[in-house]
Structure 1
Amino acid sequence: MRIAVVGTGVIGASWTTLFLRYGHEVVATDPAPGAEARLRAAVTADQTRLTFTADLAEAVADAGFVQENGPERPDLKDEVFAALDAAAPPGTVLASSSSGLLPSRIQRACAAHPERVLVGHPFNPPHLIPLVEVVPGERTGEAAVEAAMRFYRGLGRRPIRLRRELPGHVANRLQAALWREAYSLVDRGAASVADIDTAIAHGPGLRWALLGPFLNQHLSGGAGGIAHVLEHLGPPMEEWWADLGAPRLTPELTDKITQGVAEELAGTAEAGLVAERDALLALLLDAKNRTDHL
């Protein structure tokens, strides 16, 4: 398939790597000076099927799927999607990688075919992390949703379909809930930044990498499963909910968090940390793919 990648920053380059690895032809476009050189330096796949053009209309003219990755600015999204709507073949899905804008808002710029517009939000980096959140807008047709789900599955991704538009979709909202309490614990002086990272990375985060919150709870309940957990731990959990913090990102709290991260990273080469993270992610994903249930 011929895929158009619109916007070739970090997310666009990662999508491009994934599309090429799965044998697709990619036409990338980005108006920024030097965009093609940066893209080719970032892509870690065979680039013989990769072409670049600064002309957006040319990039999408024959595309079977469009993945847009522009800045999270409504005015720019309006401009880009109006152009995409005019130039892409009528049956081609227009998917935005937006992590915050709602698809119904994005559709407003598409007078001709709003029914093929949706959000296909990846997790960074898309060529490694399998999750894609497919979010239809008020005017998105079922055919476009089904086509997007098939497309992402064909790339070895694990797409989920949202039944309701929400700011931040699903996964970012779940992350935000954790960050909110993590920031609150720092703000209250209950734990250091490093200790909170340790608590997650060497505790529940290990299980969360394998199963989600509901199945993890279910398996912790023994023979009674999640029903037993909710019966016996539900009341104290409600008490914990009532005690969760509601921090504000004041300059003082921002300084605490920034300083805490600096102290945690002291003497650590960040490039090496990223390389180790990505290498272990690849090993973990490979291991999960070889299981029957994970």
Structure 2
Amino acid sequence: MTITRAACIGGGVIGAGWVARLVLNGIDVAVFDPDPQAERKVGAVLAGARRAYERMAGQDLPNEGGIRYAASIADAVDGATLIQESVPERLELKHAVLAEIDAHAEADAIVGSSTSGIKPSDMQTAMRRPERLVVAHPFNPVYLLPLVEIVGGEKTAPEHVERARALYASIGMKPVVVRKEIEAFVADRLLEAIWRESLWLIKDGICTTEELDDIVRYGFGLRYAQMGVFETYRIAGGEAGMRHFMAQFGPCLSWPWTRLMDVPEFNDELVDLIADQSDAQSGQWSIRDLERIRDDNLVAVMEALSRQNRGKGWGAGALHKDYLERLAGAAGSDKAARDGNGSET
């Protein structure tokens, strides 16, 4: 199943990332965003994404899809197979936007919401055809990170969940269907736990923002990149595996190793502390510099993982390898077709 044409409603950081992933996969995209700076902002993200993709896939990239900036939601969704909503996280705004999308979208279009925490059932109340709405929660940068959480609501049809899974997979993503609807889904609940504990560690002077980031990126972050949580801990159990790990470290769950149930007051003092340390840590780079560094690192990690497991790839690297092979195959077919057409004239 492929996306013939797409619409992106909202052109912020996440919306622009969707535009870039779709366009660089050869799909025409109509964009609607009332921000007068939307075209410039989307263009900046697309430029960065293009640079990363050229390094990643080179000559195997398909011809870019076109971008059209629509004057209305109705105009943007016309003829779209996939409609991606990426407006701010306010339920009343989601309702208004989704109702308008629903009123004008093609009957068989899939509507995906990029929300990072709102349950799809709470958004479906604004729609006459709620069965085709799914949460399709991506991760920044959308054009490089493959994970997308797919969540159906009470009124989402199972066949549309499967259609959504196939559509997102067709653009090199790793769709994971969340089995039960829950606020914030899976990934953001994990991220929120780390974020809350991090705020306490900074506030209490245990470490700085830079030291905490070093602990993640030089330690367990590298393990998580290719094995996740449970496979990592299975190895930590030694030859006896996960059962031994659970027996050995299970009692730690009752020890005072976390303050997750006790959140620091989110006041100006805490904001200033975090912001000042972050400025000291990273202020020498512009956001565009940091985006390029991030993109280069992500491509390098996925390239390295794609060479593991006797060349079959490992984790995100295996998916990355398969995606590039599909791009190369499609590029070869396109070249053969062009050469054949040229020989006939």
State the TM bucket, normalised to the shorter chain: over 0.9
- Alignment deviations for residues 180-202 of structure 1 (CA, whole Å, 9 cap, x no partner): 11111122222222221211111
Unaligned runs of 5+ in 1: none
Residues 40, 252 of structure 1: CA spacing in aligned structure 2 closer, same or farther, 3 A cutoff?
closer
Residue 258 of structure 1 and its aligned partner are, at CA, apart by 2.0
Residue 12 of structure 2 aligns with an amino acid whose one-letter code is G
AA of the residue aligned to 2:110: V
Find out whether 1:69 has 2:86 as its counterpart: yes
Tell me how far 1:41 sits from its aligned partner: 4.1
- Residue 4 (structure 1) aligned with residue 20 (structure 2): no
Match of 1:160 among 176, 180, 187: 176
Cα deviation 1:139-163 (Å, max 9, x = unaligned):
1000110011111111111111112
Q: Among all aligned residue pairs of Structure 1 and Structure 2, give the percentage whose two residues are the same amino acid.
A: 35
TM-score (norm 2): 0.79
Which residue does 2:73 correspond to in 1?
56
Alpha-carbon separation, structure 2, partners of 1:244 and 1:48: 45
* Shift, 1:165, TM fit: 2.2
1:195 alignment partner in structure 2 = 211
1:137 pairs with 136, 153, 177, which one? Answer: 153
Q: Which residue of 2 aligns with 1:19?
A: 22
Residue 283 in 1 paired to residue 283 in 2? no
State the distance in 2 between where 1:262 and 1:39 align.
26
Alpha-carbon spacing, 1:48–1:97, altered in 2? closer, same or farther (3 Å) = closer
Q: Distance in 2 between matches of 1:277 and 1:10?
A: 15
Higher helix share: 2
Q: Determine helix, strand or coil for the equivalent of 2:215.
A: helix
**Counterpart residue identity of residue 152, structure 1:** Y
In the alignment, the residues of structure 2 paired with residue 19 and residue 243 of structure 1 have an alpha-carbon distance, to the nearest angstrom, of 41
Distance 1:177 1:155, change over 3 A: same
Indicate conservation of the 8 Å contact 1:119/1:135, yes or no. Answer: yes
Alignment-derived partner of residue 264 in structure 1: 281
Per the alignment, residue 252 of structure 1 pairs with 269
Partner letter of residue 100 of structure 1?
Answer: G
Query: Which of residues 81, 86, 108 is equivalent to 2:103?
Result: 86
User: Helix, strand or coil: the match of 2:148?
Assistant: strand
Deviations along 1:92-131, one digit per CA (max 9) or x if unpaired, are: 11101111221111101102x1100111010011001111
**For 2:307 and 2:78, how far apart are their aligned partners in 1?**
39
Distance in 1, matches of 2:283 and 2:70, equals 42
CA distance in 1, matches of 2:247, 2:65: 58
- Hey, what's the Cα distance between the residues in 2 that align with 1:253 and 1:138? 39
RMSD (Å), alpha carbons: 2.0
Alignment-mate amino acid for residue 104 of structure 1: S
Cα deviation, residue 243, structure 1: 5.9
Check whether the contact 2:137–2:149 (CA below 8 A) recurs between aligned residues.
yes
Would the aligned equivalents of 1:184 and 1:245 in 2 still touch at CA under 8 Å? no
1:178 aligns with 2:194: yes
Contact 2:22-2:65 at 8 Å conserved across structures: no
The one-letter code sitting in structure 2 at the alignment partner of 1:82 is A
Q: Which runs of 5+ in 2 are unaligned?
A: 51-62, 316-345
The 1:184/1:37 distance shift into structure 2, 3 A limit, reads: closer
Of structures 1 and 2, the one with the larger relative CO (CA 8 A, separation 6+) is: 2
Pick from 232, 237, 243: which aligns with 1:227?
243
Match of 2:38 among 24, 35, 39: 35
Q: Distance in 2 between matches of 1:147 and 1:197?
A: 38
Are 1:218 and 1:226, in contact at CA under 8 Å, matched by a contact in 2? yes
Amino acid at match of 1:215: E
Looking at structure 1, the residues matched to 156 and 73 of structure 2 have their Cα atoms a distance apart, in angstroms, of: 23
Range with greater deviation from structure 2 (259-268 or 76-85): 259-268
1:194-216 deviations in Å (ceiling 9; x for gaps)? 22121111111111111111111
Q: TM-score normalised to the size of structure 1?
A: 0.92
Give, in whole Å, the separation in 2 of the partners of 1:69 and 1:102: 14
Matching residue's letter, 1:200:
V
Q: Does 1:99 align with 2:116?
A: yes
